[in-house]
Structure 1
Amino acid sequence: MNNDFWANQTNDENLKRAAMLKSFSVNSYRNLNADKISFKNKVNLFIGPNNSGKSNLIDAISFSSRIINSEKRESESAFLDELNKRNWGDLLNRKLAKPAKIKLEWVLDTSRLGYPDLSYCLEFMVGDNQQNFYITDEHLRFSEAVRNQSRPFDFFRCHNEELGLGKFSVRTRENRTAKIIDLKVNPRESVFRQISSLLDDEKFRLKLYPNFQPTVKLVQETFAAFHTYSSTVFELMAMREAVDYEMGARYLDRNGANLVNVLLYLDEKYDFIDQYTEVMRELIPGLERIKVIHASERKRSLRLIIDNNNYQLHEMSDGTIKAMIMALLVWSPEPATILAIDEPEINIHPAWLKVIANWMLRSPAGSQWLISTHSPDFLDSFTEAFVDGRVGVFVFDTNQPEQIMDLTPAMLEPRLNEGWELGDLYRVGDPLLGGWPW
């Protein structure tokens, strides 16, 4: 593999600005209640039985990113739209009577940027009809007090004192208390989607925005580069067909259908496809070349040349296409800041899973992985990195008081010293790893 190519990508400005997810807290979001789940900066594995909350956690973490990334017009509520997609009241823990609140809190690690860590909280009411769904607390602050401050600096805090009222802080000299500006905000939309309307206020525009904008932009860019995928929703039939050429397809869509256009974009900008072919050759030794071909004036498709034979994507297995998706997600020179994927192992051969796990561990810095898996073969490949602290393992069990357990190497030390791997312990149903329905 051309290591110089991959090393050069770590200099990309997007990676320099990236914030990582340090921890996440969730209360009453479906079946989830967990305080400060602490993540690793590389790979985080979620294991547990079906219906134990793994997919719900990924959905909860991505909730705010879906709002910020929404294509809804500013006059429409992306917050309410996301609730609608999740069947409104079904989002609340079924053990609670309505109305009740759901609370989500993200802590972003910005240490590489010279920032203190940032804490963003979104709390909202869930009721019996649309009028009873609104944000009750939204705030962005430094997660700890810095310098001579008695408490963490708030960039903004909205709705907690009065619904529809936002308090925005203006930083002053170190030894002086921050000035507070009160502004009206919409309780049925995130503040991050109200910046344009807030700029209409002269006090906000002149006194607050110059200080406020860089930090808010950092959070927006972090959430905007947060992408979630599920192996079960990739539209493989659509991917096998020729697609209309579209410029600027930087990231893979959730259904994967724009794979060809993303490869075209990356190849035009980085000369990527040769490097991509080299990576895929680790799975398909006879692979000579991957190329984009013109199926018609507007249509493009992929061709794989293997052992001197030409193959179209419609001739490739489901597992091969999903492996191609994984190769793109791992090795893209414009990686997402945070990548979450549900059950990547589906259709992929166990031997290939070991290669893909190795890709994740040796890929350029920049992407943080959140992976829900039932595959012991996949888990095996992360054992060494788990022991040396590069991989986090989180065990889900709704029958335990501690619903999500952060597994540590010390907990498994006797077994690991005997030569057991993570997947081995999963296969035999070791109580610490769980993962089995009975």
Structure 2
Amino acid sequence: MSAFIWQLLYISVFQAIRLGYSGSPSNRKMRCCQTFLKGWNNVMSLLSICATDYKNLNFYSTPLELKSLNILVGPNGSGKSNLMGLLNFLYLSVSQNSEATSGFAYACDYLGGTHLLSFNTKRPGKVSLKYEFGGIEETRNKPIYLGFKLLVSQSSNRIELCEDYLYSPIIGDVDEPFYYYKFHDQSVGSGVFSISKPHQGSKFERISDLPVDSLGLLSIDERIQEDEEVRELLLKSSIYAVRKHLLQEIKGWRFYNANNMNSQKIRNAEPKISSTSLNTYLSETGENLAAVLEQLSAESLDFEERFNEAFKQLFPMTRRIRATRAGLLNLTLEWSIKGIDEVFYLRDMSDGSVRMLCWAVILLSPKLPSLLVIDEPELGIHVAWMKILAGWIHYAAQRTKVIISTHSPDLLDCFTDRSDSVISLNLRADGWVSLDRIQEEQFKARLQEGWELGDLYRVGDPSIGGWPW
């Protein structure tokens, strides 16, 4: 990197310290448009999750309720990745598919195979998972529950579904819900599905030859293709519409891990120009950064302006940053600076700058995923930029559901006024992990003394956790 760029970075860091997130003009502009962002939680979203005997997690009786913003803290090995894996399991099960393996089998292998079963549970053993969703019109906005039991047998390394159900407490209570379908519970490979609508009572049709390596949301679709009689029954019921909404929601989730983003590869990447929707979201590796920026900027002038204002928070001397051609069919990023005729490119930027560009594209996008999960976004980011990054996270959480995992007390400082969003994962003596949403009352006196959330994390305050001793 040239000496000029290093000097510019040095100056901009201190500019960021002076301005901070809350005082910059672009963020005042962001706050002005917040009134247009309220009400997103009226659409379908994930409300809670629970699990039994999944790795070191055992919280089925007390589901983890998800807010618009959820910040996971805890020492290495406490279960933050396992918790995010519960979400990734469902996403991969319905999104990944090939002729060689089902999405369910891929998800199980990707997340640990038979090690999904807790070390506290002997084989044969079962892993129970349940996901609560809200905002489906067909259920009259009552919650809907999607649940599974996974069987890990004594001898085989294969994981199979031994229960798969979808229900809603539309009629009666949770103890007597309306089931859209229930598969494998009485005999493996068979089950029942409702042929009536929720308010009309329960009328079930039996179905057989169900695969044990595919979720019911998908196997129902397979049966529709194979059996005309089943198709007619399903189309008359409400399962088909509810299933469609669920699949659309789950397939809309996105997962990012800062460790998977190689800044050098992103700098050198020159993604192809594309007119398709492939570049709506940044890839997990971030290598389509220029293509996503070009597509979003072409679709929304507001986004292009917002993105440039955000980058000026990092480098106030920036005039403009945009996607530009690198040859006939490829793209890169072009960086123009006030008072300098020379144009700089993505390859001229530091690792931290590249990472911040990725987070800006993800968090400021007008097309956010229905669930955004980010693991350790602070990696490689200068402390002075944490306030800016936190501001972008706040902005995204006003428009969709966000889950962040962090080890950074500097990032936590920026969420002192959102302490109810922090979930502390604490290792217990029995090997399980407790999921404790922190209570401000426990450290209110310290906050009044001028402490911030990250300060409590730094000193190992037991009310927020984060230390392995």
Query: What TM-score do the two structures reach when normalised by structure 1?
Result: 0.90
In structure 2, the residue matched to 1:56 is 82
2:137 counterpart of 1:137:
no
Query: What does residue 299 of structure 2 align with?
Result: 269
| 1:116 alignment partner in structure 2 | 142
| Alpha-carbon distance, 1:410 to partner | 2.5
Shifted more, 179-188 versus 87-96: the winner is 87-96
Asked whether 1:225 is paired with 2:252, we answer yes
The answer to whether the aligner puts 1:239 opposite 2:253 as a matched pair is no
The answer to whether 1:370 aligns with 2:403 is: yes
Aligned-pair identity in percent equals 26
* Preserved CA contact (<8 Å) 2:271 2:330: yes
Q: Deviations over 1:189-227 (max 9, x none)?
A: 112222432213334322223421221111111111111
Check if 1:395 corresponds to 2:425: yes
Structure 2 counterpart of 1:182, from 206, 214, 224: 206
Residue 97 of structure 1 and its aligned partner are, at CA, apart by 2.4
> What CA deviation, in whole Å up to 9, does each residue of 1:286-321 have, x standing for no partner?
121111111111211111223334221121111111
Q: 1:38 aligns to what?
A: 64
Q: Tell me, what secondary structure is at the counterpart of 1:215? A: helix
Larger strand proportion of the pair: 1
- The offset of 1:65, in angstroms, is 0.8
SS of the residue 2:234 aligns to: helix
Structure 2 unaligned residues grouped into runs of 5+: 1-25
Q: Quickly say closer, same or farther: Cα 1:131–1:46, change in 2 above 3 A.
A: closer
Paired residues in the alignment total 430
User: Contact (CA 8 Å) 1:17, 1:218: kept in 2 or not?
Assistant: no
Per the alignment, residue 105 of structure 1 pairs with 130
2:251 corresponds to 1:251:
no
* Closer/same/farther in 2, CA of residues 258 and 127 from structure 1, 3 Å limit: farther
The answer as to whether partners of 1:243 and 1:301 remain within 8 angstroms in 2 is yes
Q: Say if 1:44 and 1:394, in contact at 8 Å, map to a contact too.
A: no
Bigger proportion of residues as helix? 2
CA distance in 1, matches of 2:83, 2:284: 17
Larger radius of gyration: 2
Cα contact 2:48–2:66 (8 A) shared by 1: no
User: Is the 2:79–2:425 contact (alpha carbons within 8 Å) kept by the matching residues of 1?
Assistant: no
Select the residue among 128, 133, 151 that pairs with 2:176: 151
Q: Which residue of 1 aligns with 2:446?
A: 415
SS at match of 2:53: strand
| Whole-angstrom distance in 1 between the partners of 2:397 and 2:230 | 39
Cα 1:183–1:296 change in 2 (3 A) is same
Task: Tell me how far apart the structure 2 counterparts of residues 263 and 6 of structure 1 sit (CA, whole Å).
Answer: 21
SS of the residue corresponding to residue 121 of structure 2 reads coil
Residues 279-298 of structure 1 mapped to structure 2, 5 A cutoff: 279-298=310-329
Deviation digits for residues 15-41 of structure 1 (CA, Å, limit 9, x no counterpart): 688422221111222222223443343
Q: How does 1:189-208 map to 2 (within 5 A)?
A: 189-199=214-224, 200-208=226-234
> Measured at CA, do residues 334 and 171 of structure 1 come closer, stay the same or move farther in structure 2, by a change above 3 Å?
same
Q: Contact 1:9/1:333 (CA < 8 Å) preserved in 2?
A: no
Question: Displacement of 1:150 after TM fit?
Answer: 7.5
Instruction: Between 253-262 and 194-203, report the one with greater CA deviation.
Output: 194-203
Whole-Å separation in 2 of the counterparts to 1:65 and 1:103 = 16
Alpha-carbon contact 2:335-2:345 (below 8 Å) kept: yes
1:353, 1:377 within 8 Å by CA — same for their partners in 2?
yes
Mapped pair 1:216 → 2:240: no
Q: What is the match of residue 29 of structure 1? A: 54
Q: Structure 1 314/5 Cα, relative in aligned 2: closer, same or farther at 3 Å? A: farther
String of CA shifts for 1:363-383, please: whole Å, max 9, x gaps.
473321111111111111111
CA contact 2:263–2:354 (8 Å) conserved in 1: yes
- Aligned equivalents of 1:157 and 1:3: distance in 2? 46
In 2, distance between residues paired with 1:310 and 1:430? 48
Q: Which residue of 1 aligns with 2:106?
A: 81
Q: Does 1:348 align with 2:381?
A: yes
Secondary structure in 2 matching 1:254: coil
1:337 CA displacement: 1.1
Q: Higher mean Cα deviation, 37-46 or 228-237?
A: 37-46
Counterpart position of 2:4: none
Which residue identity is paired with 1:254?
E
Moved more, 109-118 or 354-363: 109-118
CA distance in 2, matches of 1:50, 1:209: 48
Decide whether aligned partners of structure 1 residues 430 and 8 sit closer, same or farther in structure 2, where only a CA change above 3 A counts: closer
- Whole-Å separation in 2 of the counterparts to 1:41 and 1:431: 23
- The equivalent of 1:326 in structure 2 is 359
The worse-fitting range, judged by mean Cα deviation, of 284-293 and 199-208 is 199-208
Unaligned regions of 5+ residues in structure 1, if any?
none
Select the residue among 59, 73, 77 that pairs with 1:47: 73
